[in-house]
Amino acid sequence: MSIAKPKKPKNKHAQQPSTVKVDQLVKDTTDATGAYLTTNQGLRINDNQNSLKAGERGPTLLEDFIFREKITHFDHERIPERIVHARGAAAHGYFQVYHSMAQYTKAKFLQDPTQKTPVFVRFSTVAGSRGSTDLARDVRGFAVKFYTEEGNYDVVGNNIPVFFIQDAMKFPDLVHAVKPEPHNEIPQAASAHDTFWDFISLMPEAMHMIMWVMSDRAIPRSYRMMEGFGVHTFRFINDKGQARFVKFHWKPLLGTHSVLWDEAIKISGNDPDFHRRDLWEAIENGDYPEFEFGVQIIEEKDEHKFGFDLLDPTKLIPEEMVPVQRIGKLILNRNPDNFFAETEQVAFHPGHIVPGIDFTNDPLLQGRLFSYLDTQLKRLGSPNFHEIPINRPIAPVHNNQRDAHMRQTINKGRVAYEPNTLAGGCPFQATRGEGGFASHAERIDATKVRARSESFFDHFSQATLFFNSQSAAEQDHIVNALRFELGKVETPAIRERMVYMLAQVDKSLANRVAEGLGISVPAGIERDLNQSIPADGDPKKFQPKRVGKNLGASPALSMANTTMNSIKTRKVAVLVADGFDAAPLATVKQALMNAGAQVKLIAPRLGQLQGNNGEQVKIDFSFLTCSSVLFDAVYVPGGEASIETLQGVPKALHFINEAFKHCKAIAVTGAAVDLLQATYLADKVNHASGKGVIVDEGVVISRDAAPAKVIAEFIKAIAQHRHWSRERDDHVPA
């Protein structure tokens, strides 16, 4: 039996009013208030509870187009996650340049100080899946999409200025090594396993990056409190065609701060969304994250003056050699409306540039220029990913691209080629003077080879520079991080190779790590390392080679020298129970909030508390639903009834001990001083006699209710972020 095909209407617009365009008929469907449930074609649904069956107990029918549409969409709601940078959080905002940069670049968004360029910024971890914890020890992505009038421009960087490898050829190997091991899919979002350190122990070029990743930079306190870097060397080009090299930086106005590894482990259990939540809540509270955009500009004539290669992505330019010029400010002031549509579907690409900015021959950057576009085609399923709303430029788009999967633009006319006469030659090519992009005319005269420049083979000098630049506490943390990571490695030979590598960076570092691993620093291990070099390769080039130069130290590389004069957005936990001293608490709370901090009340239960003056206050958290690791400081007001209750709550005592162990500011007033007798801080109480204020390693104690000096000293102690001298005592019971 044949099935007659429906006849097409003679007029393709016959079913629509001839004077109304299709896009004028489309209604806003983002607000479902008072609306009917429909299919994706707008058909109203009268039963969303049952599939169409052959009888009440019979099979579901293939005819049920409503069910099939619904389940098909559900089946495809999860697009492939990013191979790296899968877990992230993002925000909208704007960028303003401080003054015109016309001397260096013709990029329009860097010219007018009154112009606000919209941006979308995504922060992320690298190694873990979408469901992993925010507090993994890892690099953090810091990607910024500028929606400029000349097109979208992406600065796709990290919170670390260098990278593990020098050539993109090795990127799949790096990622395969750090991802969960394929035989058992363990561990998630962690580098503490054999395959990663096996790879690193055979890649001397990674040693500088390893110093950063084993430092506190890899466990930031907040996305709002970490630096960002473009990693690669790019070019600025002005309207005269003059080119200069440039490195990009993002400097957080709140300073650069971290958490301790012990905290990171506990935060992962208490709140694996800690960084996501922090960013979201800060913006919702009006505490908009702010970063200054900085550049290091190098004249082309100075390209080879540094003793390292500007094109080597495992190297940085010390700020003491080329200061960072802060040329503008980035402010994040709006959270996404929909995580999937924006944060998950945003597509960054280092190849998204504008006139006035261009590439260099950095071999890692060159590989990224191919890889990122290829990845978007896979993840987002179409070459039309630029039409997804979050990826759409604000600049008009006119080209001859048509069709393909999920095309959204409805192009008019018969012409989809160039040159043409049928469309009057449109769209026209733009000259440079009209904003047309032209690549920098760099002269290239070379032989086609698979090789690496000799200038890339100093693998240790900057690793040593970084370690030497750290404070004593930061160096201790690097040692402990390496002991932890390598302590998880099961293969003794890998541990030995890594300790040997560390000896090329700093012998004291290697000795301390080796001591923690129960091994000696090996010598003469080059034979084992050479096994990874191809037969036609030169082991002398690829293997450890110390260069006879000492770069000293760079204070800019230590977080001990970051901003420590503000407590804005810091979270202060107040431990209370019924009968607390209401007046002192109100005074301290107001002072902290005036300084920009957030104050949360923690009690044995939820609900309302009653102060010693009868005042009722709302409890924010119980001890069961929070932990000291989620806060930056602790205050305990007096009140005999309150303190008597807290003395019988083990979690309250642990809260104080743990905050002390993690070197955080602590303040106690009035009867709360006696609570410290039941904690590890009892010795400090013995010094708090009389009515004076005692300040000792960030602990502020006063038997007075709340003298003004307590507030001043407490705020000062919080602003210091941590009081690392306490780490000398490793016997705190927490």
Measuring CA to CA, which residue among 689, 651, 660 is closest to residue 673? 689
Give the model confidence (pLDDT) of 404-430 as tens digits. Answer: 888 888 988 898 888 889 988 888 788
Q: How confident is the model at residue 29 (pLDDT cuts 50, 70, 90)?
A: low
| pLDDT above 80 (res 11) | no
List beta partners, residue 562: none
Tell me the Ramachandran region of residue 94: left when phi exceeds 0, alpha when psi lies from -120 to 50, beta otherwise.
Answer: beta
pLDDT at 687: 61
Euclidean distance between CA atoms 98 and 114, whole angstroms: 9
pLDDT at 5: 41
Euclidean distance between CA atoms 523 and 251, whole angstroms: 41
Q: What angle do CA 359, 360, 364 make, to 5 degrees?
A: 100
More confident call, 156 vs 534: 156
Euclidean distance between CA atoms 66 and 40, whole angstroms: 9
CB-count exposure of residue 255 (10 Å: 0-12, 13-18, 19+): buried
Q: How confident is the model at residue 729 (pLDDT cuts 50, 70, 90)?
A: confident
Measuring CA to CA, which residue among 285, 306, 218 is closest to residue 256? 218
Euclidean distance between CA atoms 671 and 575, whole angstroms: 13
Inter-residue contact 504 to 204 (CB < 8 Å): yes
Residue 5: CB atoms within 10 A of its CB come to 6
Inter-residue contact 605 to 636 (CB < 8 Å): no
Q: What beta strand segments (E) does 169-301 contain?
A: 228-229, 234-237, 243-252, 290-299
| pLDDT above 60 (res 622) | yes
Average pLDDT value for residue range 615-632: 96
What Rg value do the Cα atoms of the chain yield, rounded?
30
pLDDT at 1: 38
- What's the token pair of residue 693? 């204020």
CB-count exposure of residue 22 (10 Å: 0-12, 13-18, 19+): exposed
Q: How confident is the model at residue 517 (pLDDT cuts 50, 70, 90)?
A: very high
pLDDT at 198: 96
CB-count exposure of residue 568 (10 Å: 0-12, 13-18, 19+): middle
Average pLDDT value for residue range 54-65: 77
DSSP 59: P
Residue 28: CB atoms within 10 A of its CB come to 5
Euclidean distance between CA atoms 248 and 682, whole angstroms: 49
> ω before 427 within 30° of 0 (cis)?
yes
CA 343 from centroid of its chain's CA atoms? 13
pLDDT at 369: 87
Give the model confidence (pLDDT) of 640-680 as tens digits. Answer: 999 999 999 999 999 999 999 999 999 999 999 999 999 99
Q: Sign of the C-alpha dihedral, residues 595, 216, 83, 250?
A: positive
pLDDT at 15: 43
Active site residues: 85, 158
pLDDT at 8: 40
630 contact partners, CB below 8 Å, separation of at least 6: 267, 270, 271, 274, 571, 573
Largest alpha-carbon pair distance within the chain? Answer: 104
pLDDT at 18: 47
List beta partners, residue 602: 575, 621
List beta partners, residue 719: none
Inter-residue contact 619 to 606 (CB < 8 Å): yes
> ω before 555 within 30° of 0 (cis)?
no
- What's the token pair of residue 627? 């932990």
Select the highest-mean-pLDDT range: 117-121, 376-380, 430-434.
117-121
pLDDT at 10: 45
pLDDT at 526: 60
Inter-residue contact 129 to 85 (CB < 8 Å): no
508 contact partners, CB below 8 Å, separation of at least 6: none
Q: Kindly report each contact of residues 622-628 with a partner whose C-beta sits within 8 Å and lies 24 or more positions away, as own/partner.
A: 623/649, 623/651, 623/652, 623/655, 624/651, 626/270, 626/573, 626/600, 626/602, 627/266, 627/267, 627/270, 627/655, 627/658, 628/573, 628/654, 628/655, 628/656, 628/658, 628/659, 628/662, 628/664
Select the highest-mean-pLDDT range: 73-82, 294-303, 395-404, 423-432.
294-303
Could you tell me what percentage of the chain is helix, strand and coil, using 3-state DSSP and rounding each to the nearest 5? 35, 15, 50
Euclidean distance between CA atoms 651 and 270, whole angstroms: 14
CA 368 from centroid of its chain's CA atoms? 19
Measuring CA to CA, which residue among 722, 252, 223 is closest to residue 474? 722
Euclidean distance between CA atoms 565 and 572, whole angstroms: 16
Q: How confident is the model at residue 571 (pLDDT cuts 50, 70, 90)?
A: very high
Euclidean distance between CA atoms 176 and 556, whole angstroms: 33
- What's the token pair of residue 437? 């992009």
Euclidean distance between CA atoms 732 and 664, whole angstroms: 13
| pLDDT above 50 (res 315) | yes
More confident call, 77 vs 234: 234
DSSP 243: E
> ω before 187 within 30° of 0 (cis)?
yes
Q: How confident is the model at residue 338 (pLDDT cuts 50, 70, 90)?
A: very high
| pLDDT above 50 (res 120) | yes
pLDDT at 3: 40
pLDDT at 592: 97
pLDDT at 546: 66
Q: Kindly report each contact of residues 317-322 with a partner whose C-beta sits within 8 Å and lies 24 or more positions away, as own/partner.
A: 317/247, 318/465, 318/551, 318/554, 318/556, 318/557, 319/554, 319/556, 320/554, 320/555, 320/556, 322/247, 322/296, 322/297, 322/298
Q: Is 89 in a helix, a strand, or coil?
A: strand
List beta partners, residue 246: 234, 297
| pLDDT above 70 (res 533) | no
Relative orientation angle of helices 274-284 and 261-270, to the nearest 10 degrees: 80
Mean pLDDT for the chain overall? 89
Euclidean distance between CA atoms 231 and 606, whole angstroms: 47
Q: How confident is the model at residue 535 (pLDDT cuts 50, 70, 90)?
A: very low
| pLDDT above 90 (res 454) | no
pLDDT at 540: 56
What does pTM read for this prediction?
0.89
- What's the token pair of residue 232? 């690669």
DSSP 24: H
| pLDDT above 80 (res 73) | no
